[in-house]
Each structure stands twice: as structure tokens, then as C-alpha cells.
């Protein structure tokens, strides 16, 4: 009897522990570097790994650089080349951070909650601290984390002739959406 109660308690404790950390392998990151000269530098990656710890506020994303899909195959080729993202050497881009105002998010109550996130964005072998605003939307048992922010390509040592020529934005907009 004692062993049964102990086993049941361990299973319940383990379930509660794992319920705090949510993960997905189908988060989406959109990249928009369009300019008045060129509307094509847009890409989307639908195979992003993401995690959210509802107890600590830790949030993380990791994307394979080669998984960004552009409508123009030539732009995708340039994006992955040594002169740009060099995806053979720098295969992933990642973010590891924390929700600063976690106490304002009610994960057990439906609603949309504004959040402020601080963390480290690593891209092209460079890591920089990033502050971003976003939302956490809770609907039933589904949690959606979303954010839009811009990055300066020069901060991550990404350069190229198309940037200098005005065909690619110096500060592209990045949108992240993860459904847990």
C-alpha cells in the first residue's frame, strides 16, 4: 500500500513538473528585409523548435538557417552563402531569454497578455542581448507566444552588396509565433 501511494505521488509530481515546460517543433519565424527597391527578401521557417517554462518564464527558440524558405530560389541561395548567413558554418540561429513581467501572465485564464522579454539572440556566430515586446495568448489549454522585432544586420556581421545597394533592409523585421 505504501509503495502504491509513493509511486502515485511520484507520477503526479513528475506530471506537474513537466506540465510547466511547454515545447513545440512547429513554431514559425518570418523574416522581412524588403525595401522600396526590392519586395522579395522575405522568408519563413515553419520548423522552429521552441520552449516556454510557465513557472520560470524561460523562453527559447532555435531555427535551422537553411530552413528559411524564400519565394525566389536565387535569394535563398544568396541568403545561405558565405557572404550572408553562411549557413554551412552557422547552421542555427537561437534565442534564449526570459519573460520579465511573468507575474502579469495568467496561464490558467483565457486572455491575451502583453509581455516584455530579454535574452540573447545568436545569429551568424554573434550573440547580442535583445529586448522585445510580445504577447502570450491563452485559450483553453493552448498557449501562443508571439513577438515582432527588428535586428541590425551589421550587429551580427551580416553584410553584402544588396544591403549597400538598398535591395535588402539594414534592419529586417522578424516575427516569431509559437503555439504550445
pLDDT for the residue 155: 94
pLDDT for the residue 75: 87
Q: Is residue 121 scored above 60 in pLDDT?
A: yes
pLDDT for the residue 58: 97
Domain count along the chain? 1
33 part of a folded domain? yes
Overall average pLDDT of the 160-166 stretch: 80
CATH classification at residue 120: 2.40.128.110
12 part of a folded domain? no
**92 to 42, 45, 47, 64, 134: CA distances (angstroms):** 18, 12, 12, 4, 22
Q: Is residue 24 scored above 80 in pLDDT?
A: yes
Q: Is residue 4 scored above 90 in pLDDT?
A: no
pLDDT for the residue 19: 57
SS3 162: helix
Residue in the structure block whose three cell numbers are 548567413: 85
pTM: 0.83
132 part of a folded domain? yes
For residue 33, the enclosing domain spans 21-179
pLDDT for the residue 41: 86
Alpha-carbon dihedral sign for residues 48, 149, 86, 160: positive
Q: Give 3-state DSSP helix, strand, coil % of the chain, rounded to 5.
A: 20, 45, 30
112 part of a folded domain? yes
Alpha-carbon gap, residue 172 to 180, rounded angstroms: 26
Q: Is residue 17 scored above 50 in pLDDT?
A: no
Phi, psi of 167 (to 5 degrees): -85, -20
Alpha-carbon gap, residue 84 to 124, rounded angstroms: 9
7 part of a folded domain? no
Strand partners, 30: 44, 175
The mean pLDDT value of the chain amounts to 88
| 54-69 per-position pLDDT tens digit | 999 999 999 999 999 9
169 part of a folded domain? yes
9 part of a folded domain? no
Distance of alpha carbon 129 from its chain centroid, rounded? 14
**16 to 2, 10, 164: CA distances (angstroms):** 21, 10, 52
3 part of a folded domain? no
More confident residue, 5 or 132: 132
More confident residue, 65 or 72: 65
Amino acid at each position: 500500500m505504501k509503495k502504491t501511494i509513493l509511486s502515485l505521488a511520484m507520477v503526479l509530481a513528475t506530471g506537474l513538473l513537466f506540465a510547466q515546460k511547454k515545447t513545440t517543433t512547429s513554431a514559425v519565424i518570418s523574416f522581412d528585409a524588403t525595401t522600396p527597391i526590392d519586395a522579395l527578401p522575405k522568408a519563413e521557417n515553419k520548423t522552429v523548435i521552441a520552449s516556454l517554462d510557465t513557472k520560470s518564464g524561460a523562453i527559447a527558440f532555435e531555427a535551422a538557417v537553411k530552413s528559411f524558405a524564400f519565394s525566389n530560389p536565387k535569394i535563398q541561395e544568396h541568403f545561405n552563402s558565405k557572404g550572408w548567413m553562411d549557413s554551412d558554418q552557422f547552421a542555427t540561429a537561437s534565442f534564449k531569454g526570459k519573460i520579465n513581467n511573468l507575474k502579469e501572465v495568467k496561464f490558467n485564464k483565457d486572455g491575451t497578455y502583453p509581455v516584455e522579454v530579454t535574452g540573447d539572440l545568436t545569429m551568424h556566430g554573434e550573440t547580442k542581448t535583445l529586448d522585445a515586446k510580445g504577447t502570450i495568448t491563452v485559450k483553453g489549454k493552448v498557449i501562443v507566444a508571439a513577438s515582432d522585432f527588428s535586428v541590425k544586420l551589421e550587429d551580427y556581421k551580416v553584410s553584402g552588396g544588396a544591403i549597400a545597394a538598398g535591395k535588402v533592409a539594414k534592419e529586417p523585421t522578424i516575427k516569431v509565433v509559437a503555439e504550445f
